[in-house]
Amino acid sequence: MKNLLMLMLSLCVLTGCGTMGKAINTDRESRNFEIEYVVELSDCPVGEEIEIWVPVPRGDDHQIISANSVEMDDLLENSASEDRFDSRGNKMVHITGKLKRPSGNLTFKATVQRFVNNVDLMDYSKDNGEKPAADSIDLQPSTLCFVTPQIQKEADALAALSPTILGKARRFYDHILNQMAYSKAGKGWGRGDIYHACEVGEGNCTDFHTYFSALCMAAGIESRFQIGMWGKYTPQAERFKTGGYHCWAEFHVPGKGWVPVDISEADKDVANKDKYFGSQTANRVTLSTGRDLTLSPAQKGGPLNFFVNPYAEINGKPFEGITKSCYWQEL
């Protein structure tokens, strides 16, 4: 018998609330879909207590979440579940209980309305000249994304070519397209390691946007790393299994707001690279923002490089027998 845990979201579903509870602009193109995030556990030590953290989407300026549920196989006894938020506002389901079986699944489902995000680049070119506070969370290094001497040299040279935040960021964007190629060959890609991105010059979306964030950091421009599930550009009638994840970045223009960039997608479509700077398609759902994340409640293991996969601990140690599969159904 399955244990069904219905988790009621603290979202303004009918009105559509974004960051800090403000109403979002719904007068724009959007996609409606259901996502299914299946957590798969195997080789579980029966009788042990387990903690599980699952990233789940929350409403923000570009997505409305209107239904949310978690369904568990008869995997745990004395189970408890609650919605939690970390210091960056990332939402997660925290589940505890004693393992009854060596394997089982936990299935999260959500209905999403995701909006296209198009920024008026002409308007955003007129920043107000304010500088962010030095201790801004969006200027801080992480274990794998930081300013190296080479990054500082590149950022200084590129930033000198434009007086505006938008112009500097565009110089960084074009520079990375010239320096990197999308490739999953070899080892080291996918971690968002600044040395790998710069020295190897190849990688996936994580590596491209680490490079961008490091250049922004060196120039004193706030930026943030976002990651989530990724659908198809053209809506599909049939339910399908998605890839592992997709990530992108945003940078902040003082007095205006956040501007999206998707450099790895631009690298796959260089002839149309302009559309990936300041514009974001709706075939995605954000699961988390930031790097070196401490979950809620805090995990005993070290900070997570990024949070798109489920994470579990047994006796305060990371449990490796946890994976995920993701599915997408257009509505």
Residue-averaged pLDDT of the chain: 92
The secondary structure element, H or E, covering residue 322 is strand 322-330
Rounded distance between C-alpha atoms, residue 92 and residue 31, angstroms:
23
Q: What is the pLDDT of residues 225-242, one digit of tens each?
A: 999 999 999 999 999 999
Specify the pLDDT at position 22: 61
Evaluate whether 234 touches 283 at the Cβ level (below 8 Å): no
Q: How many CB atoms lie within 10 A of CB 231?
A: 25
CATH T-level topology, domain 119-281: C8orf32 fold (3.10.620)
Q: What is the pLDDT of residues 69-93, one digit of tens each?
A: 888 888 999 999 999 999 999 999 9
User: 3-116+289-330 and 119-281 share one CATH topology?
Assistant: no
| b/e 46-57 (16+ beta carbons within 10 angstroms → b) | eeeebbbbbbbb
Rounded distance between C-alpha atoms, residue 151 and residue 123, angstroms:
29
Rounded distance between C-alpha atoms, residue 323 and residue 315, angstroms:
19
Domain ranges of the chain: 3-116+289-330, 119-281
**Structure-derived torsion over alpha carbons of residues 326, 291, 72, 97, reported in degrees to the nearest 10:** 160
Residue 17 has pLDDT above 90, yes or no: no
Residue 304 has pLDDT above 50, yes or no: yes
Residue 319 has pLDDT above 70, yes or no: yes
Rounded distance between C-alpha atoms, residue 166 and residue 117, angstroms:
16
Class of CATH domain 3-116+289-330: mainly beta
Stretch 264-288: mean pLDDT, rounded?
Answer: 97
Question: Apex CA 57: angle with CA 272 and CA 132, to 5°?
Answer: 70
pTM: 0.92
Residue 259 has pLDDT above 80, yes or no: yes
Q: pLDDT tier at 127 (50, 70, 90 boundaries)?
A: confident
Specify the pLDDT at position 13: 33
Specify the pLDDT at position 2: 43
Stretch 191-220: mean pLDDT, rounded?
Answer: 97
Specify the pLDDT at position 10: 34
